[in-house]
Amino acid sequence: MTEPHANTQISNSASVSGFSGPDKPSYDDYARCVHCGLCLNNCPTYKLWGQEADSPRGRIRQMILVDQGRLPLGDAFVTHIDRCLDCRACETACPSGVEYGKLVEAARAQIEQNYQRPLFSRLARDFVFRRLLPYPNRIALVARLLRTYQRSGLQSLVRATGILHLLGLAGRERLLPPIDRTFFFSQLGRTYPASRPRRARVALFAGCIAQVSFSALHDATIRVLTANGCEVVVPAGQLCCGALAAHAGVRDTARSLAHVNLDVFLREDFDAVITNAAGCGSTLKEYDQLFAEGTEDHAKAHAFRKKMRDATEFLAELGLSGHGRLLLRIRRLLQRHRNGNLARYFGGENETRARNQRPRHRHGQSGMSVTNARGSANPFHRARSRARHRTSGPRAGEKYLSCILSQASPVVPALLSYFSPMRYRQPRAPMRAECTAPAGTSQRSPAA
């Protein structure tokens, strides 16, 4: 047991803890923190405000004090815990292996159970976490309203009136993602066959907001997987992963969503369950934390965790085939030219250095060579500038090749996408879907 916390247990037994009920930060988790502060500079809120109370170490300390009964679970505690982004950048810096995400989500669960927020906040949280996100039909309805708001010109009008600033909603409104024309909900229950000899059978986790705002990403993921020999099933009946609810401390909703998803994805034997959203993926891989050890759901979550893969993680394990290998070869070819004489000739050396090598500072030298210097005095800048502005004549092609080599132009994505199955924003129609809903499921898809 860690020495600095030896007195914590004594205090816990002697005073009334501010935490009660299920889902509270556990001593075993917070006792790992040795208060070294190595996480501080990784924390965006600490960098922004420079206050210990808004750092991971400070927040853990506050959790300990509340657990000891030495700090009330009141406004100050709630403010500092709420300000945490739950980005978990502090976890990667921590030498003690503190699972900070687990701690802050448990602290938020305690706030949800034992603290009364203002009325508007309670209503808004109740609507979003309990009455909207768990219901695909309601998400689709709200998305349609937002799409009308965004595409009818109403958004520009409302912004111009300044009413959003008066209501304090301008910042939040700016964060609204663009809503897609068609929603991915209509793809639930479909199976996409592998476009080459089958190497794996996988299930795609589609999420909630992603189905109305990132459906093109799902389409691209399916194209890449099928092109790499995967049969992709998009199981019907799947719901939001519950990450947003879990991050906000609404654990009952997160738990019930996890329960449904575990049933849906463990119903069939897939080689992997694929996600393309890191936020969803981290919660899906940690479903076991939502359930008590020894329960049936905990065992299911453990089995599910073994199958969960990010799309890139899965493809890296599987190995790219066909188009993917061609794409990599083109990338390597471009990289070689960018690093070579051809790139220098076309003025690409500056960018090559800036992007591929950090400036090399040696003792007694500035580290800035002629070719590294910025500004119009640099001969390579001038040469490149001339090449870019030349649109005709014997060396006109130079401009385009220069752009390709420096990856400064949309030509590169266009070129690569021609060879690659990753063609974004393509209509969904060309994709073939065979067999509809898996046996025993009803297809209740709220089409766009």
Query: Which positions lie near ligand SF4, rule CB under 6 A?
Result: 33-39, 42-45, 56-57, 59, 84-90, 93-94, 96, 98, 100
Residue 145 CB neighbours (<10 A): 10
In whole angstroms, what is the distance from residue 146 CA to residue 123 CA? 20
Q: Which two tokens stand for residue 48?
A: 């922004």
Q: 83 or 138, CB closer to ligand SF4?
A: 83
| Nearest-approach distance from CB 205 to ligand SF4, in angstroms | 23
Inter-residue contact 273 to 265 (CB < 8 Å): yes
Helices and strands: H and E segment counts in the chain: 25, 5
Q: Which two tokens stand for residue 120?
A: 């508007």
| Nearest-approach distance from CB 103 to ligand SF4, in angstroms | 9
Residue 439 CB neighbours (<10 A): 7
Q: Distance between alpha carbon 406 and the CA centroid of its chain, in Å?
A: 28
Q: 55 or 406, CB closer to ligand SF4?
A: 55
Residue 125 CB neighbours (<10 A): 16
Inter-residue contact 388 to 403 (CB < 8 Å): yes
Q: 85 or 157, CB closer to ligand SF4?
A: 85
What sign results for the dihedral spanned by CA atoms 157, 159, 161, 166?
A: positive
Q: 97 or 430, CB closer to ligand SF4?
A: 97
| Nearest-approach distance from CB 254 to ligand SF4, in angstroms | 18
Q: 251 or 300, CB closer to ligand SF4?
A: 251
Strand order from edge to edge, sheet including 308-310:
191-192, 230-233, 200-204, 272-275, 308-310
In whole angstroms, what is the distance from residue 62 CA to residue 52 CA? 10
| Nearest-approach distance from CB 301 to ligand SF4, in angstroms | 23
| Nearest-approach distance from CB 412 to ligand SF4, in angstroms | 34
| Nearest-approach distance from CB 88 to ligand SF4, in angstroms | 5
Bridge partners (DSSP) listed for residue 31: none
Q: 85 or 124, CB closer to ligand SF4?
A: 85
Q: Which two tokens stand for residue 398?
A: 């130079």
Inter-residue contact 187 to 433 (CB < 8 Å): yes
**In 3-state terms, what secondary structure has residue 405?**
helix
Q: 98 or 106, CB closer to ligand SF4?
A: 98
DSSP 177: P
| Nearest-approach distance from CB 98 to ligand SF4, in angstroms | 4
| Nearest-approach distance from CB 309 to ligand SF4, in angstroms | 24
CA distances for 58 relative to 27, 37, 62, 63, 70, angstroms: 16, 9, 6, 9, 15
Q: 86 or 173, CB closer to ligand SF4?
A: 86
